[in-house]
Amino acid sequence: MSEEVSDGTLNSDAPSLSDLSERDKPWDKHRSNADKVSSFYNRSEFQNYSDRVYFCSEFLDFRLTPDESEGGLRLKLNAARFCRVRHCPVCQWRRSLMWKAKAYQVLPKIVEAYPTHRWLFVTLTVRNCPITELRDTLTWMHESFKRLTKLKAFPAIGWLKSTEVTRGKDGSAHPHFHCLLLVQPGYFGKNYLKQADWVDMWRRCLRIDYNPVLDIQAVKKGRQPMELVPELLKYCTKESDLTADKEWFLELTRQMHKMRAIATGGVLKEYLKELEQEPNDLIGQDETETGVDEGHLYFGWKRKDKKYRLLSD
């Protein structure tokens, strides 16, 4: 693998991206974790992933634009080359941002179309499984969720479901679903389901002999479901779990290969179906195509410093 490409054009005394832009501080953390992921993939069957992640987002082109809220200028990402490897921390972060932006754009339209309907946020879990059994466990959970949606008592007319996998202290995998459900206005009347009812339904659909842990929250009447978007569309696996153990991470890659992270259904599918696909744009081209261009600043990743630093002319 190549040595650090960018050090030849970078000065350790050059201003860093995080110094110049508070809102862009996450870049350093995600890019640093990407180096750890690249090292995990190195000299494995995923060598191609290692190379792609290594060179991902090494150089960033930011456009200077007027900051209408605080005055002065602010940085907006204009161009970068992303590797699009599923478990690349940078690409996972950017993907989540794009999904959230789309959801924030679309959810008000759903609220307008169904003004008297209510929202539930449900987390569905099962017992932890060995990481080597994650794929089979997720397949079983997805099939169980389909059975859940077909139950007569299932109250939702539409749903958005995201998959999250966390690492147990013993190295096991903890897969679970975060679900945003749109329910009829009368749900909180005679059709109301208690926590125990939800647990019973999920247990029967899983076809297990224990009560699974299930959490359910109702969005208060008059409030918007947008407040749930950060939890719903966060990373499939948090970065601290991706970088904790090499062998666990490599097995996660094998187990999650081509598995869908987000699914939609019912009346929400037409509105949110784009969330089921990989975003075409990880930059936010809607931002870069409008507004005044006051110039550009270019940053390169300096691995020794674990910072993006301003490139000299």
Confidence of residue 285 (pLDDT cuts 50, 70, 90): low
CA triplet 17, 18, 23: central angle to 5 degrees? 105
Pairing mode, if any, of strands 118-125 and 156-167?
A: unpaired
| Cα–Cα separations (whole angstroms), residue 187 to 120, 124, 132, 184 | 10, 20, 40, 5
Phi/psi class of residue 86: alpha, beta or left (left: φ > 0; alpha: ψ in -120 to 50)?
alpha
| Cα–Cα separations (whole angstroms), residue 283 to 37, 63, 246 | 21, 12, 29
pTM given for the model? 0.90
What sections of 11-88 are H helices per DSSP?
17-20, 26-41, 47-55
Confidence of residue 294 (pLDDT cuts 50, 70, 90): confident
Mean local confidence (pLDDT), 128-154: 98
Q: If you average pLDDT over every residue of the chain, what do you get? A: 91
How much is the pLDDT for 312?
76
Whether the pLDDT of residue 6 is over 60: the answer is: no
- Window from 25-29, 72-76, 83-87, 177-181 with minimum mean pLDDT: 72-76
- Where is 246: in which H helix or E strand? helix 246-256
| Higher-scoring residue by pLDDT: 283, 46 | 46
Work out the end-to-end distance of the chain between its first and last CA atoms, rounded to an integer number of angstroms. Answer: 27
Which strands, in side-by-side order, build the sheet including 118-125? 214-218, 118-125, 173-183, 156-167, 262-266
Q: Which two tokens stand for residue 16?
A: 């860093």
Predicted confidence (pLDDT) per residue in 206-216, tens digit? 999 999 999 99
Residue 171 Cα to chain centre, angstroms: 22
- Where is 230: in which H helix or E strand? helix 229-232
Residue 146 Cα to chain centre, angstroms: 22
Handedness of CA 127, 133, 138, 143 (dihedral sign): negative
Cα gap 158→240, rounded to integer Å: 33
Confidence of residue 288 (pLDDT cuts 50, 70, 90): very low
Pick from 126, 233, 234, 228: which is nearest to 182 by CA?
A: 228
In 10 A of CB 229, how many CB atoms?
Answer: 19
In eight-state DSSP terms, residue 69 is T
Q: Are 210 and 128 in contact (CB under 8 A)?
A: no
Cα gap 180→182, rounded to integer Å: 7
- Residues, the chain: 313
Q: Which two tokens stand for residue 274?
A: 């784009």
CA triplet 214, 215, 216: central angle to 5 degrees? 125
| Higher-scoring residue by pLDDT: 83, 289 | 83
Whether the pLDDT of residue 162 is over 70: the answer is: yes
- Where is 111: in which H helix or E strand? helix 89-113
In 10 A of CB 144, how many CB atoms?
Answer: 20
Which strands, in side-by-side order, build the sheet including 307-310? 73-80, 59-66, 296-302, 307-310
